[in-house]
Amino acid sequence: MGTEIFKKMFVCLECGSNMFLVGTRLQGSKIEGLFLCPKHGVQKRDFPKSFLSTIELAAAEVDSPRSIIDSFRCPQCGLIYAVSEMEQRGGIIELDTRCANGHRAHRFLPESIDSSLMKRILQRVVHCDKCGLPGHIANVETRGNTARVHSSCPVHGIIKKDIPYALLDPLREAVSEIPE
């Protein structure tokens, strides 16, 4: 029963999504937990220092990846989002997404995400923002820590999307696994 109470700390108060524990900071006799909602970003929650180990155990039992998958469905029309842009900031990957009906959303992922889930999300980079069809990588330009991916849609042609350079090789691998 105790862990059920602590699991409630992993629920976003705005949308009800399960969150990831992405960091903790000692604040005197309290711990400031940094929780990441896939829809709303970082949320801070304080708890007594003596509860840290219990909360870390509860983190292993919370199905946060399911919330990430669910967050990629547009709440207005039900279509799956394509990723328009990705940016890494302090252990968090921020994504700009868009569905084929033009609805936009901002999404958040922890860098420590499971590799199979990251692969599914990276596959959404080559999907067209306008129609949702999967494309392929036509060209890549690199500038510093950013890679500009030229994704080729069979209907709309080339669409340029920026991703962190560190995710370029995983992107290529993910795209190679998209069924034809």
Q: What is the mean pLDDT of residues 40-62?
A: 90
Distance (Å, whole) CA 53 – CA 146: 37
Q: Which domain holds residue 80?
A: 72-176
Residue 1: pLDDT over 60: no
Q: What is the mean pLDDT of residues 101-126?
A: 94
pTM of the model: 0.89
Q: For 57-90, how does the pLDDT look when each residue is reduced to its tens digit (9 = 90+)?
A: 888 888 888 999 999 999 999 999 999 999 999 8
- % of the chain at pLDDT higher than 70: 98
170 in the same domain as 129: yes
86 in the same domain as 24: no
Domain count, the chain: 2
Residue 20: pLDDT over 70: yes
Q: Residues 11, 12, 15, 18: is their CA dihedral positive or negative? A: negative
Q: For 25-40, how does the pLDDT look when each residue is reduced to its tens digit (9 = 90+)?
A: 988 889 999 999 999 9
Phi, psi torsion values for 129, nearest 5 degrees? -70, -25
Distance (Å, whole) CA 62 – CA 35: 12
The residue out of 46, 63, 80 marking a domain boundary is 63
